Amino acid sequence: MNVGIVIVSHSPLVAEGAAQMVRQMVGDEVPLAWCGGDPSGGLGTSVEAITNAIESVWSEAGVAVLVDLGGAETNSEMAIEFIGEPRASRIVICNAPIVEGAIMAATEASGGAALSSVVATAEELSPL
């Protein structure tokens, strides 16, 4: 089972577009979910949507989460806490750019790499 990828943007368009780019690169080999938008559909994030996205791609190999701005990160941290152990410690928020990081992470995940190297690959990305 490959590491799952979750894309959390303030913008549903960014999240969906990044997911399409990921799919084009890695096909269906990687569990992939995205969410974006606040609970009333504006730009922002929703802890519930993030929680659902992570649960929908849950993999025993773990899940790498890509976020854009601060609120997306904090809300993702909350979602991971709500999901709780033992799964929480196998869900990692990458300190990486959302679009480029998602593509790199998914490409690495599609090769069956472990969560730690999926995250490292996304984070390695010097800006570009």
Partner 1 sequence: MTRLSSDDFRALVTAMASAVADNAERLTELDRAIGDGDHGANMQRGFDAVAADLDTLAAKPLPEALKAAGMKLVMTVGGASGPLVGTFFMTLGKELPEEFDRAGFTEAFSKAVAAVAARGKSHQGQKTLLDVLFPMQAALEDGKSVGEIATIAGQAAEATIPILATRGRASFLGERSIGHMDPGAASVALLASVAASMLEQQP
Ligand X SMILES: Nc1ncnc2c1ncn2[C@@H]1O[C@H](COP(=O)(O)OP(=O)(O)O)[C@@H](O)[C@H]1O
Active-site amino acid positions: 10
Which one among 25, 55, 71, 120 touches ligand X, defined by CB under 6 A? Answer: 71
Q: What are the C-alpha distances in Å from 116 to residues 33, 36, 93, 96? A: 19, 25, 11, 14
Could you tell me the smallest distance in angstroms from the CB atom of residue 38 to ligand X? 9
40 binding ligand X? (CB under 6 A): no
The token pair that represents 77 in the structure block: 């941290």
Task: Return residues touching partner 1 (CB under 8 A).
Answer: 21, 24-25, 27, 38-40, 42-48, 69-71, 74-75, 77-78, 103-104, 107-108, 111
14 binding its own copies? (CB under 8 A): yes
70 binding ligand X? (CB under 6 A): yes
Element (H, E) at 18: helix 12-26
Q: What are the C-alpha distances in Å from 25 to residues 15, 43, 65? A: 16, 27, 18
Which one among 3, 8, 11, 53 touches its own copies, defined by CB under 8 A? Answer: 11
The tokens 């190999």 sit on which residue?
Answer: 61
